[in-house]
Amino acid sequence: MADDLKDRILDAAVECLLESHPGARVHAAIAERAGVSRPTVYKYVGDQDAIVMALMERDIARMHAAAASVVTRSGSLRERFLDTIVFVVGYARDHRLLQKALREDPASILPWFTVNSEPVIEMGIGLFGPHVKQAIADGEFPAVDPRVIVEWCCRLILSLITTPGTIRTDDPAALRRYLEDLLDIGMPR
């Protein structure tokens, strides 16, 4: 029951944040939309920073579930690596709330992907680390610390999501070619 209530509050938070202006305090609107009191929002989710973190945790878990077929499919680690990065960057590009924050109020979201990125990277390690560990055990990758590989991948993804560059991240084929060139530097075919 508590998880259902938390999800209802987070669903309301998404809609309220999509409708609000940057920097707006939305606890009252979230409570009203979720059909609960403001103290209930604080009890189950917390303050506005905690709401953002809870939304990120939930959305990263949802992204991981959606990426499971890409991450676990057969094929070389290199191909799964490329496909996973293209998938995750596309997922982020299509994420309405993330894109709104990056467009309208980047100062509110960029710290979560830069100077305060440790929780996001730890989530990535927790979700994708076991897949890399298995690939190492299967001999598909050198015996290195899986955390290092996943953290590097997370940092690359965060950079591709947040930093404009010469590569069109909205074109999966172009993004894949870019990533292939990057991998060719240290992981030849």
User: How many whole angstroms separate alpha carbon 143 and alpha carbon 178?
Assistant: 26
Does the structure show a pLDDT above 90 at 175?
Answer: yes
User: Are residues 108 and 123 both part of a single domain?
Assistant: yes
User: Are residues 78 and 139 both part of a single domain?
Assistant: yes
Model confidence over 6-63: pLDDT tens digits? 999 999 999 999 998 877 889 899 999 999 999 999 999 999 889 988 998 899 889 8
Q: Can you give the CATH number for the domain in which 74 is found?
A: 1.10.357
User: How many residues make up the chain in this entry?
Assistant: 189
Which domain does 73 fall in, by range? 48-186
H-assigned helices in 35-117: 38-44, 48-71, 77-93, 96-104, 106-113
Model confidence over 101-156: pLDDT tens digits? 899 988 888 888 888 888 888 888 888 888 888 888 988 778 889 899 889 888 99
User: Are residues 106 and 153 both part of a single domain?
Assistant: yes
User: Are residues 84 and 23 both part of a single domain?
Assistant: no
CA diameter of the chain: 57
User: Are residues 168 and 83 both part of a single domain?
Assistant: yes
Closest C-alpha to 88, from 109, 67, 72: 67
User: Are residues 85 and 134 both part of a single domain?
Assistant: yes
CA distances from 102 to 30, 108, 110, 112, 175 (A): 21, 8, 8, 11, 20
User: Are residues 39 and 57 both part of a single domain?
Assistant: no
User: Are residues 10 and 73 both part of a single domain?
Assistant: no
Q: What is the pTM of this model?
A: 0.83
User: Are residues 16 and 96 both part of a single domain?
Assistant: no
CA distances from 100 to 13, 22, 129, 165, 167 (A): 14, 9, 29, 19, 21
Instruction: Name the CA dihedral angle for 153, 155, 158, 163, rounded to a multiple of 10 degrees.
Output: -120
Number of domains in the chain: 2
User: Are residues 83 and 118 both part of a single domain?
Assistant: yes
User: Are residues 39 and 75 both part of a single domain?
Assistant: no
Q: Can you give the CATH number for the domain in which 23 is found?
A: 1.10.10
- Rounded to the nearest integer, the mean pLDDT of the chain is 88
User: Are residues 116 and 149 both part of a single domain?
Assistant: yes
pLDDT band at 186 (very low <50, low <70, confident <90, very high): low
